[in-house]
Amino acid sequence: MTEEQIGIAGTGYYLPEKVLTNADLEKMVDTSDEWILERTGIRERRIIAPGETVSSMAEAASRQAIESAGLAPEDIDLIILGTFTPDNPLPAAACLLQHRLGNKTAASFDISAACCGFIYALEMGEKMLRAGRYRNALIVAAEAISVVTDWQDRNTCVLFGDGAGAAVLTRGGGHRILDSFIRSDGEYSTLLIVEAGGSACPITPEIIEQRRQYIRMEGNKVFKLAVSSMVRASKEVLKRAGLTIDDVTWLLPHQANLRIMKAVARGLRLPEEQVYINVDRYGNMSGATVPIGLAEMDHNGVLKPGDLLLLVAFGGGLTWAASLVRW
């Protein structure tokens, strides 16, 4: 019996209107456009406005994805949202998204896998649909990293931006998900961390004074692990699918840093012109970077029938993940 196809039927994305340029950052911290460009490849990033939240950004991206799939919000029976900056600690942002969409029946929950959030959610959604209990899944990644960014730390504040991306998975059609690979290693958890706000480090006046409620990263160590892990994940998912790097049409990596993406391409022996890049315009939006890139490629006609798309990411946890999609 032929295995039922699970595929991506529609995509969508949302970016806040506010643009924060490198020139703006020069007025905030001791940095320069040249310094930021050389180390990250980023020129500007998007920042949420007052009143905007992860669930509001997710709603905009999701409505676009649902419409492009030819469905209505009530057709969705599963919602998985990847984020580490939800509207509130409780309830899940996915439940707030469900309410915003006017959906009353979908099973809805968040996952926290940082920059790998979308690929982790894609793997979960694909397997849950394949089990036959659900028909249409809304897979979302949305982050408001600006709310946990230390705008006094020039090493991290230049990196991050806000945004949301979404995809609708459906049984029996769409652009086929061939395979996925997800892994983690908590040994390196302190290399990329928001320390305060949980049971291990409740927020107190002293914690706030020490600025431990903001994201912290050991950049050099993260860089090396990011490159090696994304190369390894890419090779593993290709091997599992019985394919090679020569079969890949496009590499869509997590948009953390231009140097990281170029190093991954070199590690895979893939020409840079086959790497989709938008980090210069949006910065690092954690888990939202991959679905935003996917939606851009989809809506702008970059992807052609038969293209093999390799999605790969690395993030806090530490987590890493890869997925193959046949367009």
Residue 4's pLDDT is what? Answer: 83
115 is catalytic: yes
**Helices 93-101/54-68 angle, 10° precision:** 50
The whole-number mean pLDDT for each consecutive block of 10 residues of the chain, a chain of 327 residues, reads 82 98 96 95 97 98 98 98 96 98 97 97 96 96 97 94 98 93 95 89 90 90 95 97 97 96 97 97 97 98 97 96 98
Q: Which amino acid is located at 157 in the chain?
A: C
Residue of 95, 115, 116, 157 marked active site: 115
Residue 1's pLDDT is what? Answer: 37
Question: DSSP secondary structure string, 106-163?
Answer: -EEEEE--GGGHHHHHHHHHHHHHHTTS-SEEEEEEEEEGGGG--TT-HHHHTTB-EE
Task: Give the position of tokens 């996925």.
Answer: 180
The answer to pTM > 0.85 is yes
Backbone angles phi, psi at 17, to 5 degrees: -75, -35
Strand partners, 7: 170, 176
- 138: CB partners within 8 A, 6+ apart: 62, 65, 66, 76, 78, 79, 80, 106, 166, 167, 168, 169
The domain 179-326 having CATH identifier 3.40.47.10: the answer here is yes
Q: Which two tokens stand for residue 194?
A: 């928001």
C-alpha neighbours within 13 Å on the C-beta side of residue 250 = 20
Strands of the chain, DSSP E: 6-14, 18-21, 44-47, 78-82, 107-111, 136-144, 162-171, 175-184, 192-194, 215-217, 250-253, 308-315, 319-326
Residue 198's pLDDT is what? Answer: 87
Domain layout of the chain by residue ranges: 6-174, 179-326
**Helices 219-240/258-268 angle, 10° precision:** 40
* Sign, Cα dihedral of 191, 319, 270, 38: negative
* Sign, Cα dihedral of 97, 125, 15, 110: positive
Residue of 22, 95, 254, 257 marked active site: 254
Q: Which amino acid is located at 264 in the chain?
A: V
CA dist., res. 238 & res. 84, Å (int): 29
Residue 205's pLDDT is what? Answer: 92
Class of domain 6-174: alpha beta
CA dist., res. 262 & res. 166, Å (int): 25
Residue 3's pLDDT is what? Answer: 72
254 is catalytic: yes
CA dist., res. 22 & res. 35, Å (int): 9
Residue 144's pLDDT is what? Answer: 98
Residue 219's pLDDT is what? Answer: 85
Residue 2's pLDDT is what? Answer: 54
Residue pair 169/325 in contact (Cβ under 8 Å)? The answer is no
CA dist., res. 308 & res. 327, Å (int): 6
